[in-house]
Structure 1
Amino acid sequence: MKDVYIKNTFNNILVLVLIVSFLCLIIYQIYLAINNKFHKNYSKLVEGLTSGGVFTPQSSITCTSNELPSTIYTVITTDINNIETLSSQVTSYANTINNLISNSIQSSSTKLQTITLTPLYSSPVITTSSNYSAYCHAINTNSSNITIISDNINSVSNGIKELPNGPTALQNITFNTLTSNSIIYPCSPIKSINISSLCQAENINIQNINVLHGNVVSLGSAVNSLTSVQNQKTNNQMNGALTISSNYGLTTGSS
C-alpha cells in the first residue's frame, strides 16, 4: 500500500508539473503577442502625433542678378515647414523600427543597435522685413538640415536591414540622391552676399526637399511592409497561444 501511495503521489506531482509547464507556455505566448500588439499600436500613436505636418511642394524661384523675388520669405518659411514635417515623419518611422528592434532583442539573442537620429539645427527667425543676411543664414541652415534628414533616412534604412525580412522590405525601394549644395559664406556683411549664388542655393534646397519627400515616402513603404510582416507574426503567436490553450482544455476535459 505504501508503494502504491508513493507511486500515486509521484504521478500527481508529475501531472502538476506538466500542468504548470503548459500554463507557463500559454502565458508566455500570450505575453509575446500582447507585447507586440502594444508596440504596434504605440508606434501608430507616435506616428500620428509626430507626423501631422503637411508637405507643400515648391517650384524653383527666379531671381535677378541683384535682387531676390518678393516671395522669398514665403518660399523659405515653406522650406522650413517642409523640413520639419519630413523630419517628424522620419522620426516616427525610426520609432517604429526601434520598437521592432527592441522586440527582436527581447525574443532572441540577436544583438541589434537601435537607431539614433541626428537632431536638426534650429531655424533662424525671419520676417517679411528681414535683410538678405538673415535670408542667407536661413538658406544655409535649411541646407544643413536637408543633409541631416537624408542621413537619418539612411540610418533608418540601415536599421531595417538588420531585422528579419528587412532586406526584403527594402528590395524594391529606391532612394534618390540629393544635389550637392555648397554653403553660402559669408552671410555678412550684406554687400558680400552674391545674390545669384544665394538664389541658386535656394533652388537647390527646393529641389532637394522635393527629392527628400519622395525618399520619405519610399521609407514609409518599407516600414509599412516590415510592420505588416510583424503583425502577421503577432497574429500567428496569438493563434498559437489560443491553440495551445484550446488543446489543453480538450485534454483536461477528456481525462
Structure 2
Amino acid sequence: MNNLKHISTIVLAGAILSGCSTSSKRYDIDDDIAPEKPISVEHIEDAVPQYEPYSLGGNSDYTLRGQRYEIIKEPQGFTEKGQASWYGKKFHGHLTSNGEIYDMYSMTAAHKTLPIPSYVKVTNTDNGKSTIVRVNDRGPFHPGRIIDLSYAAATKLDVIRTGTANVEIEVIQTTKPVEEHKQKAFPKFVIQVASSQHEDRVRTLSQDLGQKLSVASFVGVGSDKKIHRVFLGPFDDYLLTQKALEQVKVLGYSSAFIKSQ
C-alpha cells in the first residue's frame, strides 16, 4: 500500500485526536497490511444510501499538521477527482472519527472534509468499476489522495493490487423522509452469519446467537434446499445493523455480511 500513513481523527470534547498515530501502544502492527487470509468480498453489497443525522463526533473543523480543514456544510452535488488509497488490518477494530468501530470488511471510507456520515459513489477511472461507500472516518492525509477505502471497497474496485487508483467521487444526497412514510422509505436489512448443509447445526447456531445478542434470528434455505443459512434481523436501521454486525464479528464470524431485503 506504498507505506500508507492514514490518520483517523476523532472529535471528543472539542479536541481532535489522532486515530492512526504511529504509537505501538495503540496498534498491534506498525505498517498497514491486508488480512493474512483474505476472504472473498464479492458477496458484500454496496452501502445502501439512506438518511442519517450527522454524527456528534467527527464533524467539527480541525487543524492537522498545520493545515486547516473545514467540513463541507452543503455537500449536495459534491464531486471530486484524485487518487484513492485504502486501509486495512492495522486499523481493523479501532475507532473511526465518529466513534464507530472500523471494519475492513464493511463498505466504508475516509474523507477529509465530507460530513459524517455521507454516502459516496466511487468510480475507479482506471478500469471503470464503481461502488458505493459510507464515509465514517477522516483521511487520507497524503498529497493527491482524496479518499481512503476500506479493504472490502478497495477490493471491489481492484485497488488492492495497485495500492492506489485514480477515482472520481460523487456524493449521493439523502433526504429526511416524512415520518409516516419512514418504514416505506427505508429498506430492511438482515445479517447473514453462516451457511451449512447441516440443518441441526445451523438452527442451534441461530438460537445461540439470538440469545447472546438479544436480536431476532432465523434460518433460511436456498433454492436447492441443501444449504441452510443463519440470519439475524430484520433491522429497519442500517446503523443498528452495522453495530450488530460488529458484535457478530467479535464472536468470530468474520465473513458475516449485511443484505438488504
TM-score of the two chains, using structure 1 as the length reference: 0.22
Larger radius of gyration: 1
Q: Please, what TM-score do these two structures have when normalized by structure 2?
A: 0.21
- Which structure has greater strand proportion? 2
Q: Could you say which structure has the greater relative contact order, defined with CA pairs below 8 angstroms and 6 or more residues apart? A: 1
Instruction: Name the structure where helix makes up a greater proportion of residues.
Output: 1
